[in-house]
Amino acid sequence: MFFFSAFLVLFGAVFAGIAAFICGIVDYDEYTGDVTFGSTGSGFPSAGGPPKTVLFLVGGLFMTVGFLVVIAGVTAALRTVRLAAWLDGTVVHVRGAYRTRDVDLATAYVSEGAVKRRVGHTIVSTPTLEARDPATGHRLTVPLEGDDTGLLPPNELRALADAMTRGRGDSENDRDVHRLAESLRTRVGSVRSV
């Protein structure tokens, strides 16, 4: 993923370089209306040459595409390098490309989810926990698998299950969370037996 990000940054820089080249070689004489390229004076005659606006629009298009690709590449690289999740008591923290978000699992509505990602030519579904803070409405996705390590270790799955059920009552939401926590504990048993 990191090499793909580096390629995006390089590709975007090339686009931005082309734009700078196009915008830098155009000279426009406001008095005569002549458009010339470079300092040699050679270029299109004023009657048949492309207008300054078209050249700058083409240069601006290349620059915009280049900057968007660079931003996408930098974001992908940051996400790859910075992605982390940890549990502090009952509060789970997930760090993304630009910010860290947190939700208290003891009070949040927690459900099971999945994130699809491409590995080579196949699409793989990765299990997640989807947590929504009832007070703020913020949503948080907690991956249950490492990048290449498979399911989280048993102690981490057990810690998530314990954090989710701590202080829960007997409401419908709480019963759903208890069932999900029991499902995580069952996965812990299946990880041990493998």
DSSP string, 134-154: TTT--EEEEESB-SSS-BPPH
Q: What is the pLDDT of residue 185?
A: 87
Domains of the chain by residue range = 2-81, 84-193
Pairwise CA distance, residues 170 & 154, whole Å: 26
Question: Would the pLDDT of 130 be above 90?
Answer: yes
8, 99, 146, 183 from 132: Cα distances, Å = 33, 17, 22, 19
Residue 132 confidence class, pLDDT cut points 50, 70, 90: very high
Q: Which pLDDT does position 91 carry in this prediction?
A: 93
Q: What is the pLDDT of residue 120?
A: 77
Q: How far is residue 174's CA from residue 193's CA, in Å, rounded to a whole number?
A: 29
Question: pLDDT tens, 23-32?
Answer: 655 555 555 5
Average pLDDT, the chain: 76
Question: What tens digit of pLDDT does each residue of 6-22 get?
Answer: 666 677 677 666 666 66
166 alpha-carbon distance from chain centroid? 31
Residue 162 is predicted with a pLDDT of 92
Digit-coded pLDDT (tens) for 134-181: 889 989 988 887 666 677 888 888 999 999 999 888 888 888 889 999
